Amino acid sequence: MMLATVGLSKYFPIRGTLIGRMMLKAVDDVSIKIQENRIVGLVGESGSGKSTLGRALLRLLEPTSGDVLFNIPDEELAIYERAQAANDTAKLHEIREKYSLLRKSTAEMRRLRREMNIVFQDPYSSLNPRMRLVDVISEPMLSTGFCTRDEADERVFDLLRDVGLPRFFEDRYPHELSGGQRQRVAIARAISTYPKLLILDEPTSALDVSVQAQILNLLRGLRDKYGISMLLITHNVAVVAYLAAKVYVMYAGKIMEWGDRDKVLRDHHAAHRMSIPSEVSGGVRDLRVDRGGSRGRPGVPPPRKVLRHVWRGGECSPGSGANDRHRGSRRCGENPRARRPRERRRPQPEGDRVDRTEERRSRRTAL
C-alpha cells in the first residue's frame, strides 16, 4: 500500500466568535487508501476540504490528529488494523515508528520528499516568476539532495521532453508561458525526483477544455512510464471518470462514500452528492440535508428538511417530480413573492361609454 490514512483530522480555530472558541473541521476523521501504480480520485464541492486533505497527507499542513502511513506493505497494514481493533498499543507504536510520516523528523522528511510531491491548483502562483524554468524544475532535485547541479541540468532536458515542451524553454520565465505550458512545467517539477506518490490538486481547473485533455493524457502516460501512484483531487466528475479507478467522495470534511468508479458515480441515492450533475448520476437528484453543517456558517446545523414544489396541472404540490425549475419560481403558489395574475378589465356597455373627444378638443382651443 503506497499510502493509508487512519482517522486523519485537521481543525482550524474560528476567531472572533462570541461563544467561546469554535473549531472549523476542515478534515474530520478521514481514512483513505492509495494502492501502488493506481490513480485514486477525490471529488467534492468547493470548500469540502479536498485541498486541505492533500496538503495534510504530505505534512505541508500538520494534522490535528490521526495517522499517515507511507509505503507500508499490505501485510503490515492488516496487522495495524487488527491491532487497532484490539487496542494493542505496543504493536501500534511499533508500526507507527516505521511507517508513519507524523513520527519522522525534519531531516527524515526531507529525504522522504523525494518520493512524494504535489502539483498545486494554480499554475500562475505556484511558479516563482523570478526563476528560469531550468531553476524551477531542478529546485526539488537540489533541495532534497537527489542529484548534483550538473546532473539536474541534464535531467531538466529529459523532463521537458516528457511533458511535451521544447528544449529551448529552459531559459524562459513563467510569465512567457501559457496556462497549459505552466501546468506542464509544474508537473515536470513534481516528477523530477521520480516520486512514488503524486498529489494532483485540481490540475485542470484553470485550463481550457482542449488543454485539459492534453494534461490528462500526459498524466496517464507518466503513470504508465514511471509507475507513479496518484491522488487526483477535483470537483470535475468527467476528469475522475476518465482517469481514476477508485473514487472517494468528500463532503463537509468527511468521506461520505468510496468504491469503484462506476459504482460511485452512477449511484444517485447518495445524499451528499450535490455537485454531480443529473446526467452522470442517472436521473434527477433530490436536494438533501447538509450533514456536515451549513456552508455559510461553520458549525451551524442546516435545516432538517427541504421541500420542493412541483407544478402539476395548474396547482402547486410538494414532492420530488421532474420539474425542478418550478421550485422557488414566481409561478409557485407557496412562494410569497409569486406573481399574481391580473384581472382583465371588462369592456363597458355601449350606453355607459362617454365620448370625451369634444371636451378635450375644446380645452386645447381655450389654452
pLDDT of residue 327: 46
Query: Between these two residues, 294 and 52, which has the higher pLDDT value?
Result: 52
pLDDT at 99 over 60: yes
Q: Domain-by-domain residue ranges, the chain?
A: 3-281
Segment 190-210 mean pLDDT: 88
What does the alpha-carbon distance between residue 312 and residue 308 come to, in Å, rounded to a whole number?
A: 12
Confidence of residue 17 (pLDDT cuts 50, 70, 90): low
pLDDT of residue 121: 86
pLDDT at 97 over 70: yes
pLDDT of residue 261: 87
* DSSP secondary structure string for all residues of 91-133: HHHHHHHHHBGGG--HHHHHHHGGGEEEE-S-TTTSS-TTS-H
pLDDT at 155 over 70: yes
What does the alpha-carbon distance between residue 358 and residue 367 come to, in Å, rounded to a whole number?
A: 15
pLDDT of residue 122: 85
pLDDT of residue 292: 40
List, in sequence order, every beta strand (DSSP E) within 131-271: 197-201, 229-234, 246-251, 254-260
Note whether 287 and 310 are within 8 A (CB): no
Segment 346-363 mean pLDDT: 63
pLDDT at 290 over 70: no
pLDDT of residue 213: 86
- Tens digits of residue pLDDT in 229-284: 999 999 888 888 889 989 999 998 999 889 898 888 776 444 444 444 433 333 33
Of 157-161, 239-243, 306-310, 348-352, the least confident = 306-310
Query: Between these two residues, 148 and 341, which has the higher pLDDT value?
Result: 148
CA nearest neighbour of 44 among 32, 35, 36, 34: 32
Segment 7-23 mean pLDDT: 80
Provide the CATH topology of domain 3-281. Rossmann fold (3.40.50)
DSSP helix, strand, coil percent of the chain (3-state; round to 5) = 40, 20, 45
